[in-house]
Amino acid sequence: MKIENPNPIQWHFSDRAQQLQASFIREILKITQRPEIISFAGGLPSPATFPVERMKEAFDKVLTDSGRVALQYGPTDGYAPLREWIADYLSTDGSKIVPEQILMVSGSQQALDLLGKVLIDEGSRVLVETPSYLGALQAFSVYRPEFKSVDTDEHGLVPSSIDAVAQGARLLYSLPNFQNPTGRSLSIERRLELVETCARLGLPLIEDDPYGALSYKGEPKPRMLAMNPDGVIYMGSFSKVLTPGIRLGYVCAPLPLVRRLELAKQAADLHTAQLTQMVVHEVVKDGFLDRHIPTIRTLYGNQCQVMLDALAEHFPADATWTTPEGGMFIWVTLPKQIDALKLLDQAIAARVAFVPGSPFYANEPETNTLRLSFVTVPPERIREGVAVLGKLIKDML
């Protein structure tokens, strides 16, 4: 039986909900998922790297050995053996991280939302890099902060620019390794200066680090968490080193904060799925990542080099771009007169896609910038796509 609606609902969305906007990137991705398009737009890891067989074995083992625990509700803070594994992993550099500091989350994106919920009031000042990760700007925006941009240069965030905007700030959100969107990394000296500056100001420093393990050459740089465990909130993720579809990340934070985050998480979704946490623990506990991650590094490093070579060959001399030492992105700055949004229209007509840089800026955007991802596109298509973009740009000049 179906009831009539004599008084159709006039939806009254909250002020908060009225502000929500679809992510520009997700909109572009809808277009670019068409197979004929060469897409440098995605922020997706390469599915070629997903350890499908290993995951299958682990699901099977967990369900066979502990199915009734894996399929039950679990604790909000997460599956204890996995939290212990993460605490040990974060302590390999000599830090003394304890499992109580770890909160498992449903993708590190959830950590951004929870951090916003517990640290940001309407109008609170939040410091972000210029440009910064769009998903963080989106997550924090729900809590209606006042974003202040901290300067960056070709070496990443400039710590000496923090003081000028730090007055009353609730947090500083930083991406020290192979930043999304620029691919830049902070030097050890800058990390120290950043941590010292935040410590002097009593300013909580978020270290968002989903890409840190994906360095193409050399050892990863030290975590800022290790430099000041009482002032740094570290966010990690299994999305880029295993698979994003399992939606598993974690936060490591000082105890008073982590307990607040746990309460916020309890209200949001009770807990992250036990099944996936147990499966990931089964996968990582015997050192699988040490064997697996080098294969991702090699693939991404090679494709990055192909793109860098193609940019040098096809882009005009007055365009510049970053040379990442890891991660998934190259950031291009075009001659000032070129609007990347206009270029995108033409590029899509020519079956190539990328993400214009503007949405990554919390305040004044630089409209002549764009983000290119090289990880899901095979080398010959990278060359082809960059050549198309280079020609379009030269035609626009």
CB burial of 52-84 (b: ≥16 within 10 Å; e: otherwise) equals eebbeebbeebeeeeeeebeeebebbbbeebbe
Neighbours of 257 (CB within 10 A): 17
Find the binding residues for ligand PMP in span 120-179 (CB under 6 A): 133, 135, 175
Structural tokens at position 268: 């949001």
What is the C-alpha to C-alpha distance for residues 328 and 375, in angstroms, rounded to an integer?
6
Tell which one of 145, 249, 326, 356 touches ligand PMP (CB under 6 A): 249
What is the C-alpha to C-alpha distance for residues 223 and 245, in angstroms, rounded to an integer?
26
- Eight-class DSSP state of 326: B
By beta-carbon proximity to ligand PMP, the closer residue of 166 and 235 is 235
Asked whether the beta carbons of 355 and 285 are under 8 A apart, the reply is: no
Tell which one of 46, 152, 237, 369 touches ligand PMP (CB under 6 A): 237
Tell which one of 207, 208, 262, 325 touches ligand PMP (CB under 6 A): 208
Asked whether the beta carbons of 328 and 175 are under 8 A apart, the reply is: no
By beta-carbon proximity to ligand PMP, the closer residue of 43 and 159 is 43
Least distance in Å: CB of 43 to ligand PMP? 4
Does residue 274 interact with ligand PMP by CB under 6 A? no
Does residue 43 interact with ligand PMP by CB under 6 A? yes
Least distance in Å: CB of 346 to ligand PMP? 26
Tell which one of 116, 131, 210, 385 touches ligand PMP (CB under 6 A): 210
Judged by CB under 6 A, the stretch of 104-112, 155-163, 337-345, 389-397 that binds ligand PMP is: 104-112
Tell which one of 32, 76, 109, 177 touches ligand PMP (CB under 6 A): 109
Asked whether the beta carbons of 185 and 325 are under 8 A apart, the reply is: yes
Does residue 108 interact with ligand PMP by CB under 6 A? yes
Judged by CB under 6 A, the stretch of 95-103, 107-115, 250-258, 269-277 that binds ligand PMP is: 107-115
Taking CA atoms, 50 is separated from 239, 242, 306, in Å, by 10, 6, 22
Does residue 239 interact with ligand PMP by CB under 6 A? yes
What does 177-208 look like in DSSP terms, one character per residue?
SS-TTT-----HHHHHHHHHHHHHHT--EEEE
Of 177, 156, 149, 166, the closest CA to residue 234 belongs to: 177
How many residues at the interface with ligand PMP, by CB under 6 A?
A: 14
What is the C-alpha to C-alpha distance for residues 277 and 288, in angstroms, rounded to an integer?
15
Tell which one of 42, 74, 107, 356 touches ligand PMP (CB under 6 A): 107
Per DSSP (E only), the strands in 21-168 are: 38-39, 102-105, 125-129, 146-150, 152-153, 156-157
Judged by CB under 6 A, the stretch of 106-114, 266-274, 295-303, 375-383 that binds ligand PMP is: 106-114
Does residue 244 interact with ligand PMP by CB under 6 A? yes
Residue, CB closest to ligand PMP: 107
Where does this chain bind ligand PMP (CB under 6 A)?
43, 107-109, 133, 135, 175, 180, 208, 210, 237, 239, 244, 249
